[in-house]
């Protein structure tokens, strides 16, 4: 009994010593408040990053959307930013424009309309943002620059905003302006003028949605420009801003951030920047590129989303750690809340922020992510140290009477690989307005007066499975929900469902490539159009498809296997490409550019007639059939050894495809 009493005293002394060594931090709203919190969001697009999500069957698709958008369930996102499709490659694929051509308008193309409506269905208060990464070729009038004819570009963008409301009852809250080269102040002013004249005064402008400069200095020097820009948006700011941006008095956003592989180090990156974007840079919104990794993983920046859903054929998806890291803030602070001035860094590494709704509620988010466990893909992260520490928080002002705080905790465990995310702990009792936490490295805490937080869950999805080795699509869909065929990922050009009224026979419902002019884009579209599909690991396979060349004399189409590259590097794609042309010839090449020729000759193919192409690749040899008869055989293929299947056209030209099929070996 004596020993037990002595042990208790020793433990008490040690505990008291720890408290005495704890650093103290004051949380007080009476000294004034900081900036207004605008939310945390995800970005669909830039480009085609949500492509596979729409192909998921129910209930899995709705479950995924719940984890992203449903309040008090998962990430509970407060902002959704989408690409205004421009028919161009913008990182992982192309998204269709609402205006392929100058006299063309269609506000049902693509899946971003659907995604915004699904987000609004779950959270009516979610903020919607549109940003064009690229533009159809006609907007540039023969140049690769969209702002030489600002009236045309403004008309194009404002039409999209009006179409969102007219056809989908979606109110777009913000419109972004971005180009890698520079920004155009006259365009921004004209956009504001046109929005106002169109009754869209509520739509605000984010500029330059790229870098802090030169937009920040321009706002200080140009009063008219200052009046029309609402948000200064920066991409991948590294949690820092510049003095000129602060001087403008404008809201500062990290309007594109993260872009990191979504393992637990990616989750650590996200935890660190969500806090430190405000602590270091006074940014009041952070938007993840991308929303969800729902594109083929072997494309550029595979699995760089808040969660992963890249297997619609199996139904499998993965709720990654960034979902729960997001919840630490979004479930306990809403847009319109305000940061306290008393935020900052912890003495031994890490950071804390505190927010209030001005009605007595308080939310504190603490992160202690170490350097090596929170590295983002960009920019480079300077070295820093994080150690175990005790932190005492003093609640003052209107928080002095708080008697208890709800506690939510995440622990990244890189040693045992047994992390714990978004776990609700016992409420923390507040004594004399203070509380002390023992903080370990690589943790996230939320302490809050809000009691509605919840770690939502759905039944486990089906197991992961590879793309089906036997695959067929006849495109016979009379009323498609989406304009793209399932599982095809357009990489240059746009392939849409089409009703061929000129063929009453077997080819009424087809897939048609519709982009006829090179788009205005910052990325490297190929000179040919291409859509990939399947499993990048495929080696030996047969691809067949009915093809219809629409361009007389100069037209051409292809089917392909072992396509090794797409996304930003699609121009460099290699594989086995089987081309037929309207001039009655064929060619087999080892690259999409057609520079390495494996075989060529006469085919008798022509425009305005359906032909069936069959390509078989096995080992180092490839063979091709035309209309069921051998045309060429035993072309030697040294490399690549694996890749996707694909279809496409010789140039930006109209062409149709039907009865597509794949048979791949295990």
Q: Is the pLDDT of residue 307 over 70?
A: yes
Binned at pLDDT 50, 70 and 90, residue 542 comes out as: very high
DSSP lists the bridge partners of residue 620 as none
320 catalytic residue (yes or no): no
Parallel/antiparallel/unpaired status of strands 621-626 and 629-636: antiparallel
Query: Is the pLDDT score of 592 beyond 80?
Result: yes
Element (H, E) at 599: strand 597-602
Q: Which of 83, 112, 256, 311 is catalytic?
A: 256
Cα torsion through 189, 195, 201, 203, rounded to 10: -90
- The residues, any chain, with a CB within 8 Å of residue 329's CB and separated by 6 or more, are 40, 274, 363, 365, 446
Is the pLDDT assigned to residue 440 strictly greater than 70?
Answer: yes
Closest to 355 (Cα-Cα) out of 40, 7, 4, 2: 40
Smallest CA-to-CA distance from 228 within 198, 207, 209 is with 207
Task: Judge contact between 361 and 383, C-beta under 8 A.
Answer: no
Tell me the torsion sign for CA atoms 239, 240, 246, 248: negative
Q: Has residue 179 got a pLDDT over 80? A: no
| Sign of torsion over alpha carbons 136, 140, 142, 144 | negative
Catalytic residue among 23, 105, 180, 297: 180
Q: For 374-403, what is each residue's pLDDT tens digit?
A: 999 999 999 999 999 999 999 999 999 999
What pLDDT is stored for residue 501 in this prediction?
Answer: 82
Residues 183 and 217: their CA atoms lie apart, in Å, by 12
Q: What kind and span of H or E run contains 9?
A: helix 2-20
With a CB cutoff of 8 Å and minimum separation 6, the contacts of 172 are 128, 129, 130, 161, 164, 165, 203
At residue 180 the predicted structure's pLDDT band, cuts being 50, 70 and 90, is low
pLDDT at 14 over 80: no
Confidence check: pLDDT of 580 > 60 = yes
Residue 528 has pLDDT above 60, yes or no: yes
Q: Check residue 221 and give its pLDDT.
A: 98
58 counts as catalytic: no
For residue 15, name the pLDDT band (cuts at 50, 70, 90). Answer: very low
410 φ/ψ angles, rounded to the nearest 5 degrees: -130, 140
3-state DSSP of 217-248: HHHHHCHHHHHHCCEEEEECCCCCCCHHHHHH
Q: Residues in the chain, how many?
A: 666
**Residues β-bridged to residue 345:** 351
16: pLDDT strictly greater than 70? no
Distance between CA 239 and CA 273 in Å, rounded?
6
Residue among 588, 592, 590 nearest 572 (CA): 592
The whole-number pLDDT of residue 178 equals 81
Give backbone dihedrals phi and psi of 20, rounded to 5 degrees, phi first. Answer: -65, -30
Rg for the chain (alpha carbons), in Å?
A: 28
pTM for the structure as a whole: 0.96
pLDDT tens readout for residues 471-504: 999 999 988 999 999 999 999 999 999 998 877 6
The answer on pLDDT for 6 being more than 90 is no
Q: Which of these, 147, 141, 151, 229, lies nearest to 190 by C-alpha position?
A: 151
């Amino acid at each position: 009994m004596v020993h037990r009493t002595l042990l208790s005293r020793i433990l008490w002394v040690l505990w008291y010593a720890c408290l005495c060594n704890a650093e103290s931090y004051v949380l007080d709203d009476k000294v004034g408040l900081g900036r207004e919190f605008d939310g945390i969001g995800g970005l669909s697009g830039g480009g085609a990053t949500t492509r596979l999500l729409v192909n998921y069957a129910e209930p899995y698709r709705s479950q995924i959307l719940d984890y992203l958008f449903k309040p008090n369930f998962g990430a509970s996102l407060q902002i959704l930013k989408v690409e205004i499709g421009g028919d161009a490659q913008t990182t992982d694929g192309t998204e269709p424009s609402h205006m392929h051509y100058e006299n063309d308008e269609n506000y049902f193309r693509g899946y971003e309309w659907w995604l915004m409506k699904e987000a609004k269905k779950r959270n009516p208060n979610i903020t919607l943002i549109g940003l064009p990464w690229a533009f159809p070729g006609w907007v540039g009038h023969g140049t690769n620059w969209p702002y030489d004819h600002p009236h045309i570009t403004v008309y194009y963008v404002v039409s999209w905003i009006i179409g969102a409301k007219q056809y989908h009852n979606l109110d777009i809250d913000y419109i972004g302006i971005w180009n890698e080269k520079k920004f155009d102040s006259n365009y921004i002013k004209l956009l504001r003028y046109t929005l106002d004249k169109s009754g869209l005064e509520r739509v605000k402008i984010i500029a330059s949605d790229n870098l802090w400069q030169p937009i920040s200095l321009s706002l200080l020097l140009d009063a008219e420009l200052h009046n029309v820009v609402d948000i200064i948006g920066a991409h991948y700011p590294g949690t820092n801003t510049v003095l000129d941006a602060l001087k403008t008095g404008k809201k500062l956003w990290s309007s594109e951030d993260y872009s990191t592989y979504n393992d637990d180090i990616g989750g650590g990156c996200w935890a660190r920047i969500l806090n430190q974007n405000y602590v270091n840079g006074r940014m009041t919104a952070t938007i993840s590129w991308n929303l969800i990794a729902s594109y083929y993983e072997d494309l550029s920046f595979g699995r760089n989303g808040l969660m992963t859903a890249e297997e619609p054929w199996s139904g499998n998806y993965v709720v990654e750690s960034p979902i729960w890291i997001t919840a630490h803030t979004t479930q306990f602070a809403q847009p319109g809340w305000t940061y306290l001035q008393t935020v900052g860094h912890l003495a031994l590494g890490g950071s804390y922020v505190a927010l209030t709704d001005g009605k007595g509620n308080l939310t504190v988010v603490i992160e202690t992510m170490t350097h090596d466990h929170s590295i983002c893909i960009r920019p480079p992260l300077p070295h820093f140290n994080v150690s175990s520490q005790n932190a005492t928080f003093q609640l003052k002002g209107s928080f002095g009477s708080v008697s208890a705080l709800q506690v939510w905790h995440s622990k990244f465990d890189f040693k045992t690989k047994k992390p714990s995310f978004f776990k609700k702990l016992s409420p923390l009792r507040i004594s004399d307005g203070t509380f002390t936490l023992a903080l370990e490295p690589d943790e996230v805490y939320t302490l809050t007066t809000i009691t509605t937080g919840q770690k939502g869950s759905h039944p486990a999805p089906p197991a992961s499975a590879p793309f089906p080795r036997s695959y067929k699509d006849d495109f016979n869909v009379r009323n498609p929900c989406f304009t793209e065929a399932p599982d095809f990922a357009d990489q240059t050009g746009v392939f849409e469902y089409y009703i061929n009224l000129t063929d009453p026979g077997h080819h009424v419902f087809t897939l048609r490539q519709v982009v006829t002019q090179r788009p205005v884009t910052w990325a490297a579209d190929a000179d040919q159009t291409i859509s990939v599909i399947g499993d990048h690991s495929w080696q030996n396979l047969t691809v067949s498809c009915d093809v219809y060349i629409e361009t007389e004399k100069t037209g051409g189409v292809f089917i392909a296997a072992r396509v090794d590259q797409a996304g930003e590097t699609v121009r460099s794609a290699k594989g086995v490409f089987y081309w037929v042309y309207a001039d009655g010839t064929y060619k087999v090449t080892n690259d999409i550019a057609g520079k390495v020729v494996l075989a060529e000759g006469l085919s008798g193919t022509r425009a305005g007639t359906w032909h069936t192409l069959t390509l078989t690749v096995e080992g180092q040899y490839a063979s091709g059939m035309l209309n069921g008869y051998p045309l060429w055989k035993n072309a030697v293929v040294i490399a690549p050894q694996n890749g996707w299947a694909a279809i496409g056209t010789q140039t930006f030209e109209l062409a149709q495809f039907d009865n597509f099929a794949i048979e791949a070996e295990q």
